[in-house]
């Protein structure tokens, strides 16, 4: 009666180390942060595109915007300035977190600078038109 190897009891695979609650919590936190980061970047990209559209509208309808009644013009201007500030703040937060790639940072900086110059020209044209109406 020899030893029959076909009848041996199979051994279990080596046990994997168990994941601790702290490791699970850290993994969940990283995943949540990644989701938030992606959502923030998507929202940021949409805001950039929105301001690019406004810039195109300013260029296309410059005279029409400048000739608006003062109260309507000031409301529109306040809204635009608020959006500009919001985008600049979001860009600063993303850059501080090292989430803003250099080419996006440059794109946003160029957009904000261009809108600032166009808004200055539009303000001057609006003031000139308002002065002409007052006479």
Write the pLDDT tens digit of every residue in 96-118. 988 889 999 999 999 999 999 99
How far is residue 67's CA from residue 63's CA, in Å, rounded to a whole number? 6
Residues in the chain: 135
How far is residue 86's CA from residue 91's CA, in Å, rounded to a whole number? 9
Whole-number Cα distances in Å, 64 to 1, 72, 73, 80, 108: 105, 12, 10, 16, 26
Q: Token pair of 101, please?
A: 């790639």
Write the pLDDT tens digit of every residue in 69-92. 999 999 999 999 999 999 999 999
How far is residue 106's CA from residue 131's CA, in Å, rounded to a whole number? 37
How far is residue 87's CA from residue 44's CA, in Å, rounded to a whole number? 7
How far is residue 45's CA from residue 94's CA, in Å, rounded to a whole number? 12
Q: Provide the pLDDT for residue 16.
A: 62
**Eight-state DSSP code of residue 61:** T
The reply to whether the predicted model has a pTM over 0.85 is no
Q: Is 78 helix (H, G, I), strand (E, B) or coil?
A: helix
């Amino acid at each position: 009666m020899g030893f029959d190897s076909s009848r041996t009891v199979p051994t279990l695979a080596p046990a994997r180390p168990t994941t601790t609650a702290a490791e699970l919590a850290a993994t969940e936190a990283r995943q949540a942060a990644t989701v938030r980061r992606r959502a923030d970047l998507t929202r940021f990209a949409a805001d950039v595109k929105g301001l690019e559209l406004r810039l195109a509208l300013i260029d296309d309808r410059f005279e029409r915007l400048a000739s608006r009644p003062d109260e309507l013009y000031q409301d529109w201007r306040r809204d635009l300035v608020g959006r500009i500030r919001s985008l600049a703040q979001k860009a600063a937060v993303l850059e501080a977190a090292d989430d803003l790639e250099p080419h996006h940072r440059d794109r946003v900086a160029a957009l904000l600078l261009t809108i600032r110059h166009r808004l200055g020209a539009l303000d001057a044209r609006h003031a000139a038109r308002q002065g002409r109406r007052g006479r």
